[in-house]
Amino acid sequence: MRNIKLVLEYDGTNYHGWQTQPDLPTVQGAVEEALTQLTKTPIQIIGAGRTDTGVHAEGQVANFHTDSSIPQVAFQKGLNTLLPRDIVVCSVTEVDADFHARFSATSRRYRYTILNRPYPSALLRHTAYFYPAPIDLKSVNAICQSIVGKWDFSSFQKTGSDRLNPVCKIFEAHCWKVDDCVYFEIEANSFLRGMVRAIVGTILKCTKHASGNIENACAQFHSILEAEDRALAGPSAPAHGLSLIRVEYND
């Protein structure tokens, strides 16, 4: 059996997340349906990240096993013909038999986009969170730097999650602004369900309450982090501002 790796880009607006759900449109379901049409046999795929409803991806990775002899280029062209226009296959690669899109990953990087100006955008309404209040970038970046390392992120885990180990290692986190958009990126070895959106919402809450005092903003955030209690964190930022940017693997 061949093991095929896909890199996918998608607009998650019209989907109930990545993972297949009965009677609901999902990205995984759409890709599996296209693969089944292409290979004339049922195909199940494995995704690197289970993005939630409305979340996007620029670099989602998936793999599947098949005995089809279809060339890699034909897989890409065929899938992009069959898939809806809001899902695109960026690359197709044949990989080793033991490659697993989820468990072989060494890190994942997410970006959250905030439209930070007094009025909303008709063009960015599906990809950026409209937040008109001022954002203190110095305080945000101070918090970002303070969470690099290994932490228990229970305070930022979606209620009802079944993950037993809430410890994640953050490799990098930072924030910057270009024109009217503020971008927050974070890379870690793994993420809890809803973690990035909860972190963004809590950072906005803490920096707003601290009114420019960087030490107070960091202290507020870390008191929430160390409490390991989701009820103390801020509201999750909306799903449509989030995108899975990249998944890394050891060569």
Q: Measured in whole angstroms, how far is the alpha carbon of residue 203 from the centre of its chain?
A: 17
Catalytic residue among 11, 52, 152, 251: 52
Task: Please provide residue 129's backbone torsions phi and psi, each rounded to the nearest 5 degrees.
Answer: -85, 120
52 noted as active-site residue: yes
Catalytic residues: 52
